[in-house]
With several copies, the nearest count.
Chain A
Amino acid sequence: MTELGLIGPVEIRVPPDPSLSRVLRLAASGMASLAGFTIDEIEDIKIAVSEVLLALIEHGSGNPVEVQFESDDHSFKLRGRSFADNFDIEHPDLVLCRSVLAGVCDSHTIDHVDNQAHIWAEVTHKTIE
């Protein structure tokens, strides 16, 4: 069985600039690789990071986005948040985004509370015992 490393939390705050999506993916995949995730799991984590960022940038209010990455002994957890007056969870683009998150993550939530859009997602490590 492969054991995962405990790494993080790493908290990153960025302006709502699409070009930073790749930078966040690099940071997340570097963490996940150190922690011992497989290549396929790292691909899923990269997609999840991208989806979180694009949901908060495209549907947020132009405010900075905060993401947080953390790896524990069985999963990679990511959270993202941004202040947003409106955040239409039923927007068709977000529906596609959610269906991708559902495909690559073992669980995820998206909500909008107190003017803050918030996304949480988790990719579990499949151990082979």
Chain B
Amino acid sequence: MEAANNNSLTVEIGADGSIVVHGDIDIAGGPTLEAAILSLENTQQVVIDLGDVSFIDSSGLRSLLGASRRAQARKSSVILRSVGPEVTRLLQITGTSDQFAIESSRD
């Protein structure tokens, strides 16, 4: 059993170094995701697996956009994997889809 973290998001590092996100990327979960990205981004390509994410708001998007900006400064990019309809919709609403490399989407 996990200890409570008052948080609706957990992050795991996949075998290939991808950041696998579970839960809601909101004002509570965004900082956890951001910390995971910061801990990895200087040594490897940032790949974020969103296969288990069905909610994101502007605070979550801010974490992703910050990572994208830093990646671009390093002449790299942020790869989003298994992007669900909720994330796709928020990227479209805010016109920020082109800030990311979308590896794959799901329904």
Chain A residues within 8 Å of B, Cβ to Cβ: 2-7, 17-19, 21-22, 25, 34-36, 38, 43, 46-47, 50-51, 53-54, 57-58, 93, 96-97, 99-100, 103-104
Give residues of chain B (32-88) contacting chain A, Cβ–Cβ below 8 Å: 55, 57-59, 61-62, 86
Q: Is B102 an interface residue (CB 8 A)?
A: no
Given A51-B57, A96-B61, A22 and B24 contact (CB-CB distance below 8 Å): yes
- A-B contacts, 30 listed (Cβ < 8 Å): A2-B1, A3-B3, A5-B5, A18-B26, A18-B28, A19-B28, A21-B8, A21-B28, A22-B8, A25-B55, A35-B6, A38-B1, A43-B86, A46-B55, A47-B57, A47-B90, A50-B55, A50-B59, A51-B57, A53-B27, A54-B59, A93-B58, A96-B61, A96-B62, A96-B94, A99-B93, A100-B57, A100-B58, A100-B90, A103-B93
Given A18-B26, A19-B28, A100-B94, A34 and B6 contact (CB-CB distance below 8 Å): yes
Q: Could you list 20 further interchain pairs (A-B, Cβ under 8 angstroms) beyond the known A2-B4, A99-B94? A: A4-B4, A6-B6, A19-B6, A19-B8, A19-B28, A21-B28, A35-B6, A36-B2, A36-B4, A38-B1, A47-B55, A47-B90, A50-B55, A51-B57, A54-B26, A58-B59, A93-B62, A96-B61, A99-B58, A103-B94
